[in-house]
Structure 1
Amino acid sequence: MTDIATITPNPAIDLSTAVDRIVPVAKLRGRTQRRDPGGGGINVARVIRRLGGDARAIYPVGGAIGILLRQLLDSEGVTSHTWRIAAETRENFFVDEIGAGKQYRFILPGPRLGETEWQECLKLVAAIEPFPRFLVASGSLPDGVPDDFYARVARIAKPRGAKLILDTSGPALAAATAEGVDLIKPNLREMRELSGSEPSDAYEWETAARELVERKKAAVVALTMGHLGAALVTREAILRAPPIPITPRSAVGAGDSFLGALVWRLAGGAAIADAFRLAVAAGAAALIHPGTELCRPDEVARLADQVTIETV
């Protein structure tokens, strides 16, 4: 039985390359070319698969890009549960400028979904048998999908006894937390939008997360804070992990790697502090690679030994 299913309403194929310099007008010849399946829930499922687990990925497919997306996931051994949409699945584009050590990220808008198309996703989720213990809803919502889409997913998950894990932003995040979810994974920008506050240090960020827990917006807040590290906040405790001393090369996939490792360990019955430790290591492991690479298991294991967990 698959204990974990992920939902990605707005998947993509991530195309990445590297050039010496970025200048206008001139033809910029890429040194590399890489295509990866993309989108929050899809990346979470890929990380879980890499770490030795199993997760069913639920996502729409449209046109030739959608077919390629399914093929790429099949090649990684990720189980897909898809439905067809009329418009083409989107692509994103990432360029590393080698000379300047900078990365440019072009996120394309993607297709617009009609009501019958996004309703089909809810029908697929409701029909899962046996229902997963963990349901991970992650990523942006396509045009045409209502802001309360993830809140509707929460209303499907609750009666089935599943834990809903959410990683999104803006109105979609606000609507879902108004319904109440089991775990959210905001970054600092998303946390600022959700809390309506302007924290200035790690303690204030953690306090804002604790207020969300106390207001029953989420049972757990896993807050990624960039240079401040990460925090995991429950009603019982606040755990803080300072950043691991690494040299970041790309931010693509770090949050998804963090969440994938966290959910994988929780689904395996690990204590929440142990799951948090592996999540921090997985996020850091994604940061050290250029382009669109996710974390690698050997590097996650190595970096986990460097993670320090503090009880605040």
Structure 2
Amino acid sequence: MRPILTLTINPALDVSTSTENVVGEHKMRCGLSRLDPGGGGVNVSRVIQRLGGQTLAIYAAGGPTGEAYRKLIEAEGIPTVVVPIAGSTRESFTVDETSTGKQFRFVLQGPEATEAEWRACLDRVAASIPHDGYVVASGSLPPGAPDDFYARVARLAREHNARCIVDASGPALAAALAEGVFLVKPSGRELGELVGAQLDTAESQIHAASTLVERGSAEFVALTLGGEGAVLASAAGVIRLPVPQVQVQSTVGAGDSFLGAFVLRIAQGHDAQAAFRAAVAAGSATAMTPATELCHRIDVERLEAELALLPV
């Protein structure tokens, strides 16, 4: 297996709970709560470890929430490099309304990153990039980080003959694509914003994803479409898979799980079709779990086997 490095410059301490009804200006009594170390790259590392792989996770953290975050990751036994920051690690808050089944998600902005802090993250990446391996840069950028931050990560990866995977949106995604990367994983909405068009048909979605490949912006474009499945575009063509029929409890972390499974299977030497099946299986398996819980290996492997029976 080729080595995998993940980067999370703006992680979040995920807090989740439930209440019967979400009502304005009322004190709402909640059920049991849980804490998870969230954020794109860290979730990718957590999923890879659950599926039997290993990564090195680099993340920025500070303050009391950063300390709680660090202890949660240590408890999972994931190898990490922590970049200290002056601000306190942000939180995200998820509330399930039990009377309706609705989910309310509140994502805080996070502390501003100083130039010294975001450059320190790049320095840690440069010192840790595995030669001929994979670098996964995932999640939102904190205030203060430049729009081309992930593009800089892509350049560092190229210098070490590593493949860079970026999961971002807006200007950060556009800058990374201008640099050229191995894989991006936009949602339908994010891809539409990127190309400046309403992608409301399967044909328009496939055309937009394939155009990025043709331009050399990315070798693979994995387009996640929620309940409508997913599309994988590459120079070899386009693959489309439906999502398995599962009981959805929460979609928090499903995209990160998709990405983690895809990268793991590719790093293990599987082809793109097999990696794509694993990705769809992992995203769906995470949707089966409550609140901010991530997928379980037994569910991923079962769904992966079911998807292998479908034509592509």
Output the CA distance in 2 between the equivalents of 1:143 and 1:177: 21
1:233 aligned partner: 233
Q: State the identity as a percent.
A: 50
- 1:159 deviation in Å? 1.5
Structure 2 counterpart SS, 1:294: coil
Structure 1 counterpart SS, 2:306: coil
Runs of 4+ residues deviating >3 angstroms: 129-132, 308-311
2:94 aligned partner: 94
Counterpart amino acid of 2:265? R
Output the CA distance in 1 between the equivalents of 2:62 and 2:136: 22
Pairs within 5 Å for 1:176-255: 176-255=176-255
- 1:244 deviation in Å? 1.4
Answer yes or no: is the 8 Å Cα contact 2:129–2:157 preserved in 1. Answer: no
2:8 aligned partner: 8
Pairs within 5 Å for 1:1-312: 3-128=3-128, 130-131=130-131, 133-307=133-307, 309-311=310-312
Counterpart amino acid of 2:27? K
Counterpart amino acid of 1:172? A
Structure 1 counterpart SS, 2:5: strand
- 1:2 deviation in Å? 7.2
Stretches of structure 2 that go unaligned for 5 or more consecutive residues are none
- 1:246 deviation in Å? 2.1
24-33 vs 261-270, which deviates more?
24-33
Counterpart amino acid of 1:94? T
Output the CA distance in 1 between the equivalents of 2:132 and 2:63: 29
Output the CA distance in 2 between the equivalents of 1:293 and 1:274: 24
Superposition TM-score, scaled by structure 2 size: 0.96
Post-superposition Cα deviations, 1:4-52, rounded to whole Å, max 9, x if no partner, equal: 0100110011000011111223321111110000000000000001111
Answer yes or no: is the 8 Å Cα contact 1:240–1:310 preserved in 2. Answer: no
Answer yes or no: is the 8 Å Cα contact 2:5–2:130 preserved in 1. Answer: no
Output the CA distance in 2 between the equivalents of 1:58 and 1:184: 19
- 1:243 deviation in Å? 2.1
How many residue pairs get matched?
311
Answer yes or no: is the 8 Å Cα contact 2:4–2:130 preserved in 1. Answer: no
Output the CA distance in 2 between the equivalents of 1:187 and 1:121: 26
When residues 220 and 35 of structure 1 are mapped into structure 2, their CA distance, relative to the original with a 3 A threshold, is same
Post-superposition Cα deviations, 1:215-265, rounded to whole Å, max 9, x if no partner, equal: 111110011011221011101121110121223221100000000000011
Answer yes or no: is the 8 Å Cα contact 1:239–1:310 preserved in 2. Answer: no
Output the CA distance in 1 between the equivalents of 2:293 and 2:44: 13
242-251 vs 78-87, which deviates more?
242-251
34-43 vs 237-246, which deviates more?
237-246
14-23 vs 301-310, which deviates more?
301-310
Output the CA distance in 1 between the equivalents of 2:197 and 2:244: 27
Superposition TM-score, scaled by structure 1 size: 0.96
Counterpart amino acid of 2:173? L
Answer yes or no: is the 8 Å Cα contact 1:222–1:233 preserved in 2. Answer: yes
Output the CA distance in 2 between the equivalents of 1:160 and 1:309: 37
Output the CA distance in 1 between the equivalents of 2:293 and 2:129: 32
299-308 vs 117-126, which deviates more?
299-308
Output the CA distance in 1 between the equivalents of 2:119 and 2:163: 21
Answer yes or no: is the 8 Å Cα contact 2:184–2:222 preserved in 1. Answer: yes
Counterpart amino acid of 2:202? A
Output the CA distance in 2 between the equivalents of 1:132 and 1:210: 26
When residues 294 and 177 of structure 1 are mapped into structure 2, their CA distance, relative to the original with a 3 A threshold, is same
35-44 vs 131-140, which deviates more?
131-140
- 1:132 deviation in Å? 6.2
Answer yes or no: is the 8 Å Cα contact 2:129–2:160 preserved in 1. Answer: no
118-127 vs 194-203, which deviates more?
194-203
Structure 2 counterpart SS, 1:158: helix
Output the CA distance in 2 between the equivalents of 1:129 and 1:248: 36
